[in-house]
Amino acid sequence: MPDPVRRPIDVRIDSPGREGLTGTVPASVYAPLADQEQITVAPDGRPMEEQPSWRADFPIDWPQDEYVERRDFMKFLVLISLAFTAGQFWIVMENYWRRGTGQPDIRRVASLDDIPVGGATTFAYPGEHDPCVLVRPAENVVVAYSQKCTHLSCAVRPLVDRGLLQCPCHEGAFELSSGRPVAGPPSRPLPVVQLQVRGREVFATGIDQRTV
Protein backbone atom coordinates (compact mmCIF):
# COMPACT_ATOMS: atom_id res chain seq x y z
CA MET A 1 0.00 0.00 0.00
CA PRO A 2 1.57 3.35 -1.05
CA ASP A 3 2.33 5.98 1.57
CA PRO A 4 -0.64 8.46 1.54
CA VAL A 5 1.65 11.36 2.45
CA ARG A 6 4.13 10.84 -0.36
CA ARG A 7 2.54 11.28 -3.76
CA PRO A 8 3.95 8.89 -6.30
CA ILE A 9 6.16 10.71 -8.73
CA ASP A 10 6.64 10.43 -12.42
CA VAL A 11 9.18 7.82 -13.39
CA ARG A 12 10.71 9.98 -16.11
CA ILE A 13 14.15 11.30 -15.27
CA ASP A 14 13.40 14.97 -15.90
CA SER A 15 10.09 15.07 -14.04
CA PRO A 16 9.56 17.48 -11.10
CA GLY A 17 10.11 15.90 -7.69
CA ARG A 18 12.48 13.30 -9.01
CA GLU A 19 15.58 15.39 -8.44
CA GLY A 20 18.13 13.65 -6.23
CA LEU A 21 16.52 10.24 -6.42
CA THR A 22 18.65 7.34 -7.41
CA GLY A 23 17.84 3.92 -8.66
CA THR A 24 17.88 2.57 -5.10
CA VAL A 25 14.50 3.99 -4.11
CA PRO A 26 11.63 1.48 -3.98
CA ALA A 27 9.55 1.09 -7.10
CA SER A 28 6.42 2.11 -5.19
CA VAL A 29 7.72 5.69 -5.09
CA TYR A 30 7.14 6.06 -8.79
CA ALA A 31 3.75 6.53 -10.43
CA PRO A 32 3.23 4.09 -13.27
CA LEU A 33 3.27 5.66 -16.71
CA ALA A 34 0.11 5.33 -18.75
CA ASP A 35 0.45 2.56 -21.30
CA GLN A 36 1.00 4.14 -24.69
CA GLU A 37 -1.24 1.53 -26.25
CA GLN A 38 -4.15 2.69 -24.09
CA ILE A 39 -3.95 6.37 -24.95
CA THR A 40 -6.52 7.31 -27.53
CA VAL A 41 -6.80 10.57 -29.39
CA ALA A 42 -9.90 11.89 -31.13
CA PRO A 43 -9.52 12.70 -34.84
CA ASP A 44 -9.42 16.47 -34.17
CA GLY A 45 -6.62 16.03 -31.60
CA ARG A 46 -8.46 17.77 -28.73
CA PRO A 47 -8.73 16.09 -25.30
CA MET A 48 -11.74 13.94 -24.52
CA GLU A 49 -13.12 16.54 -22.07
CA GLU A 50 -13.62 18.92 -25.01
CA GLN A 51 -15.24 16.39 -27.26
CA PRO A 52 -19.01 16.29 -27.93
CA SER A 53 -21.06 14.02 -25.74
CA TRP A 54 -21.82 11.57 -28.52
CA ARG A 55 -18.11 10.89 -28.87
CA ALA A 56 -17.83 10.26 -25.14
CA ASP A 57 -20.87 7.97 -25.29
CA PHE A 58 -19.43 5.94 -28.14
CA PRO A 59 -15.70 6.01 -27.55
CA ILE A 60 -13.51 4.64 -30.29
CA ASP A 61 -9.82 3.98 -30.05
CA TRP A 62 -8.96 6.10 -33.08
CA PRO A 63 -5.24 5.32 -33.41
CA GLN A 64 -6.00 1.62 -33.12
CA ASP A 65 -8.82 2.00 -35.61
CA GLU A 66 -6.48 3.71 -38.09
CA TYR A 67 -3.85 1.03 -37.66
CA VAL A 68 -6.31 -1.84 -38.14
CA GLU A 69 -7.85 -0.20 -41.21
CA ARG A 70 -4.49 0.24 -42.93
CA ARG A 71 -3.43 -3.28 -41.99
CA ASP A 72 -6.62 -4.78 -43.43
CA PHE A 73 -6.30 -2.66 -46.56
CA MET A 74 -2.81 -4.05 -47.01
CA LYS A 75 -4.11 -7.60 -46.64
CA PHE A 76 -6.74 -6.85 -49.28
CA LEU A 77 -4.09 -5.48 -51.64
CA VAL A 78 -2.02 -8.63 -51.24
CA LEU A 79 -5.13 -10.63 -52.16
CA ILE A 80 -5.50 -8.46 -55.29
CA SER A 81 -1.83 -9.10 -56.03
CA LEU A 82 -2.50 -12.84 -55.82
CA ALA A 83 -5.41 -12.46 -58.24
CA PHE A 84 -3.23 -10.58 -60.75
CA THR A 85 -0.56 -13.26 -60.57
CA ALA A 86 -3.20 -15.95 -61.10
CA GLY A 87 -4.37 -13.97 -64.13
CA GLN A 88 -0.84 -13.95 -65.55
CA PHE A 89 -0.54 -17.70 -65.20
CA TRP A 90 -4.01 -18.15 -66.68
CA ILE A 91 -2.67 -16.39 -69.81
CA VAL A 92 0.27 -18.82 -69.78
CA MET A 93 -2.17 -21.75 -69.70
CA GLU A 94 -4.30 -20.25 -72.45
CA ASN A 95 -1.17 -19.88 -74.56
CA TYR A 96 -0.35 -23.57 -74.10
CA TRP A 97 -3.91 -24.50 -75.02
CA ARG A 98 -3.78 -22.28 -78.11
CA ARG A 99 -0.47 -23.84 -79.21
CA GLY A 100 -1.97 -27.29 -78.78
CA THR A 101 -4.74 -26.56 -81.25
CA GLY A 102 -2.17 -26.04 -84.05
CA GLN A 103 -2.74 -24.32 -87.39
CA PRO A 104 -6.32 -24.06 -88.65
CA ASP A 105 -7.35 -26.10 -91.68
CA ILE A 106 -7.57 -24.75 -95.22
CA ARG A 107 -11.24 -24.29 -96.03
CA ARG A 108 -13.31 -22.96 -98.89
CA VAL A 109 -15.23 -19.96 -97.63
CA ALA A 110 -16.81 -18.33 -100.70
CA SER A 111 -16.98 -18.10 -104.45
CA LEU A 112 -16.20 -14.88 -106.34
CA ASP A 113 -19.37 -15.46 -108.33
CA ASP A 114 -21.43 -14.96 -105.17
CA ILE A 115 -19.81 -11.66 -104.15
CA PRO A 116 -20.29 -8.61 -106.35
CA VAL A 117 -17.58 -5.94 -106.50
CA GLY A 118 -18.16 -3.71 -103.49
CA GLY A 119 -20.00 -6.53 -101.74
CA ALA A 120 -19.27 -8.64 -98.69
CA THR A 121 -20.17 -11.93 -97.10
CA THR A 122 -19.66 -13.55 -93.73
CA PHE A 123 -18.32 -16.95 -92.79
CA ALA A 124 -17.04 -18.76 -89.70
CA TYR A 125 -13.33 -19.56 -89.50
CA PRO A 126 -11.50 -21.44 -88.03
CA GLY A 127 -14.24 -22.51 -85.59
CA GLU A 128 -17.98 -22.21 -85.90
CA HIS A 129 -17.97 -19.49 -83.23
CA ASP A 130 -15.34 -17.34 -84.98
CA PRO A 131 -17.28 -15.03 -87.30
CA CYS A 132 -15.34 -13.43 -90.16
CA VAL A 133 -16.22 -10.97 -92.87
CA LEU A 134 -14.98 -11.21 -96.45
CA VAL A 135 -15.05 -8.06 -98.59
CA ARG A 136 -14.45 -7.60 -102.34
CA PRO A 137 -13.56 -3.92 -102.73
CA ALA A 138 -12.30 -4.32 -106.33
CA GLU A 139 -12.57 -6.85 -109.14
CA ASN A 140 -9.40 -8.73 -108.25
CA VAL A 141 -9.11 -7.87 -104.56
CA VAL A 142 -10.60 -9.84 -101.68
CA VAL A 143 -9.81 -9.26 -98.02
CA ALA A 144 -11.12 -11.01 -94.94
CA TYR A 145 -10.94 -10.17 -91.24
CA SER A 146 -12.29 -11.49 -88.00
CA GLN A 147 -15.65 -9.85 -87.49
CA LYS A 148 -15.11 -9.39 -83.76
CA CYS A 149 -14.10 -5.84 -82.89
CA THR A 150 -10.86 -5.87 -80.90
CA HIS A 151 -12.43 -3.55 -78.33
CA LEU A 152 -15.38 -5.54 -76.96
CA SER A 153 -16.07 -8.13 -79.67
CA CYS A 154 -19.07 -6.47 -81.30
CA ALA A 155 -19.55 -7.45 -84.95
CA VAL A 156 -17.92 -5.02 -87.40
CA ARG A 157 -19.67 -4.17 -90.69
CA PRO A 158 -18.00 -3.18 -93.95
CA LEU A 159 -18.51 0.33 -95.38
CA VAL A 160 -16.84 -0.35 -98.72
CA ASP A 161 -17.46 3.11 -100.22
CA ARG A 162 -15.66 4.72 -97.27
CA GLY A 163 -12.94 2.08 -97.14
CA LEU A 164 -13.79 1.18 -93.54
CA LEU A 165 -14.98 -1.58 -91.29
CA GLN A 166 -17.16 0.03 -88.68
CA CYS A 167 -18.08 -1.17 -85.21
CA PRO A 168 -21.51 0.25 -84.36
CA CYS A 169 -21.24 -0.35 -80.60
CA HIS A 170 -18.70 2.38 -79.81
CA GLU A 171 -18.08 3.94 -83.22
CA GLY A 172 -14.80 2.15 -83.72
CA ALA A 173 -13.46 1.99 -87.27
CA PHE A 174 -10.80 -0.07 -89.04
CA GLU A 175 -9.10 0.48 -92.38
CA LEU A 176 -10.58 -1.89 -94.93
CA SER A 177 -7.28 -2.42 -96.72
CA SER A 178 -5.24 -3.36 -93.65
CA GLY A 179 -7.63 -3.87 -90.72
CA ARG A 180 -5.78 -1.29 -88.61
CA PRO A 181 -7.83 0.85 -86.20
CA VAL A 182 -8.41 4.40 -87.38
CA ALA A 183 -11.10 5.64 -84.99
CA GLY A 184 -12.79 4.88 -81.70
CA PRO A 185 -11.65 2.80 -78.75
CA PRO A 186 -10.06 -0.24 -80.47
CA SER A 187 -6.28 -0.27 -80.13
CA ARG A 188 -5.42 -3.51 -81.92
CA PRO A 189 -5.97 -4.32 -85.60
CA LEU A 190 -8.53 -6.90 -86.65
CA PRO A 191 -7.02 -10.37 -87.11
CA VAL A 192 -6.49 -10.99 -90.83
CA VAL A 193 -7.81 -14.15 -92.43
CA GLN A 194 -5.22 -15.29 -94.97
CA LEU A 195 -6.89 -16.08 -98.27
CA GLN A 196 -6.04 -17.98 -101.43
CA VAL A 197 -8.05 -17.61 -104.62
CA ARG A 198 -8.04 -20.76 -106.72
CA GLY A 199 -9.95 -20.13 -109.92
CA ARG A 200 -13.21 -18.54 -108.73
CA GLU A 201 -13.08 -20.12 -105.30
CA VAL A 202 -11.79 -18.36 -102.16
CA PHE A 203 -10.05 -20.43 -99.50
CA ALA A 204 -9.10 -19.40 -95.96
CA THR A 205 -5.64 -20.70 -95.04
CA GLY A 206 -4.95 -19.20 -91.63
CA ILE A 207 -5.40 -16.36 -89.16
CA ASP A 208 -2.83 -13.62 -88.60
CA GLN A 209 -3.18 -11.84 -85.25
CA ARG A 210 -1.31 -8.58 -84.70
CA THR A 211 -0.68 -6.09 -81.93
CA VAL A 212 0.03 -3.10 -84.20
Residues binding other proteins (CB under 8 A): 36-37, 63-64, 66-67, 70-71, 73-75, 77-78, 80-82, 84-85, 87-89, 91-92, 94-95, 150, 187-189, 191, 208-212
Q: What is the DSSP letter of 179?
A: -
CB of 210 to other proteins, least distance (A): 6
> Distance between CA atoms of 179 and 149, rounded to whole angstroms?
10
Residue among 78 and 117 whose Cβ is closer to other proteins: 78
> Going by C-beta distance under 8 Å and a sequence separation of 6 or more, which residues neighbour residue 149?
155, 156, 167, 169, 172, 186, 190
CB of 80 to other proteins, least distance (A): 6
CB of 87 to other proteins, least distance (A): 5
Residue among 14 and 37 whose Cβ is closer to other proteins: 37
Residue among 48 and 82 whose Cβ is closer to other proteins: 82
Residue among 63 and 119 whose Cβ is closer to other proteins: 63
Strands of the chain (E only): list them.
9-10, 30-31, 107-111, 119-124, 131-138, 141-146, 157-159, 164-167, 172-175, 181-183, 192-198, 201-208
Residue among 12 and 210 whose Cβ is closer to other proteins: 210
Residue 171 phi/psi, 5° resolution? 55, 40
CB of 29 to other proteins, least distance (A): 23
Residue among 15 and 95 whose Cβ is closer to other proteins: 95
Do 144 and 133 meet the contact criterion of CB atoms below 8 Å apart? yes
Do 160 and 120 meet the contact criterion of CB atoms below 8 Å apart? yes
CB of 75 to other proteins, least distance (A): 7
CB of 147 to other proteins, least distance (A): 15
